[in-house]
Structure 1
């Protein structure tokens, strides 16, 4: 009987021990859970909520979202806010064209041409339309190389229908050489009816909505990590962005004299050679000569890289300079070069702030306004 009593006591002790361990694990788990919730709530409210796309009516720049640098964020209206598009004349897209409707100018390009920056009047095409009283048609990039896309329009007979006076091809500077130095096939063609169907179904992926972001998300860890790094190193490199101190204020954000720019602005500089730019120039000359047969003038608008534009004003700059525009300016052209670096450099000398958004790789409406007040379409 005594043995049975001892056994009962041992079992009771083990039950108490298990219960004690269970309570300990519950306690540890509760602490970790509360810490995790506290971490996410804190980082969300202090950093992530102010940087990420958390409000459909408000847009923040790509570099701001990459670097989580709150004091460089330039919050601006998203493209959904109609009041931000206040120019009297707007561009059109292909699906809105009426049968047998003609246009004055056709534009095609990358994110700069498709309002990826958002904010006030993000389409530079609207400035072309307003300042020239033109009907401007923006074509979404469907066929890769923009030059060959225009050749497809030419060969299919679509240009004959649209009857434009001018075509503007835009490309951000850092991608100009990869896009435009390869050997061209200007004989490419697509049946006109099929081509029209493709164009009518075009979707601007730069304007698609981002998914809803909860306050608990993986971005919070990057937000905390990047901002802790900046406590010990004010200026530095991140996966996509580089920060550099500037000689004076060029932005209207809280941090008004730090340049935030894309790494590829300097990493692609090795492509800038006389040979490559000569090949690019030759390709544009070929297309320009082809378009002249129909009385159409070709304009090429390389959008100057943010780093290249602001480079003269960086404190103790150790990064290589871009010579893209300097080399291209000296070459013989059958097309018209829209020299965005020259035009916007003059605006910087006047002290204009926010030509580029502090938190973005893209320029603002101030740049579009300055460029197309100077560019005259003949």
Structure 2
């Protein structure tokens, strides 16, 4: 949706737009700003209600430029589904003002840009690495960083809750009898490889700090060193539960850049695979949560349906998890005879399964007692932190991009 002229008109009375550059390319509205203008423009867009979501902050390295780095902010409106990309340039060693006090979602986004490119955000209260380990030297997404360089971590990060980069150790707050506890990175209660450092006040988590990156493989660096078609197997590993969706998202982006329109049949197959993958994601999330709360029956029941979806994947391509099914411009192959009938039969069975799980969990008194009011997130908080998908809708925001910004057969 081309709204670039509307944006320029909107900003012209408040900002020196003669210093800005407005562009529209590949269905993207782009505004180039001096770095000093980024935060004021972000505040304006948010306060006026034009864009309520900060979807992403990313970096780009152009070693040949005097202003070596680009920092890009992706904004989205849940009310109008409009999007705009804010760009600015930064010299090596320069700092850029933090946007964390505009959107809380900027916290981890800015840390990732610092971690990968070395661009620091002035005023950020916790400007430390987030994905690579604390002993890492260099910035892996810079173009001059060798893709095959390995750096091993030999020391654990101390348990800490404060902000200094040195990883200061835990200190009890005055008047609080708190118990520090380290969970993970390998623990039955952590569904995913991460480490959670918590300070407990009885059974309540008073505060927590999270260490991520144990499975970070710098997918973007791998993508830079391979042709487009060879990147598809890497996308499988971004989330093995729903690998086809990652295949589709990557190929869709490349096809958009190349101006390729895939055939209707390929679109239909992609929609089917995406929806089956979403079902798997829901099953894993609900099943794992059920186990944590003692509902083992629900877990086994849900995973029966997960197995049926993997059987459909296996019939289609021979693989269950890492399927690598899509191709730029279409699909790897046609489904075998009878496969679509099998999908329809599964859908009928899944409808019955939803009612059964609803009875086992949703209306279960023990489940309700252990979940109601725990970790509740308001709609406003969800938007502020950049929640998306089912988590956003569960917080009360009625937004589904399949309906709001339909693609393929949606």
Note whether the superposition's TM-score is higher than 0.5: no
* TM-score normalised by structure 2 residue count: 0.22
Q: Say which structure is richer in strand.
A: 2
Q: Say which structure is richer in helix.
A: 1
**RCO greater where, 1 or 2, for CA within 8 Å and sep 6 or more?**
1
* TM-score normalised by structure 1 residue count: 0.23
Based on CA coordinates, which of the two structures has the bigger radius of gyration? 1
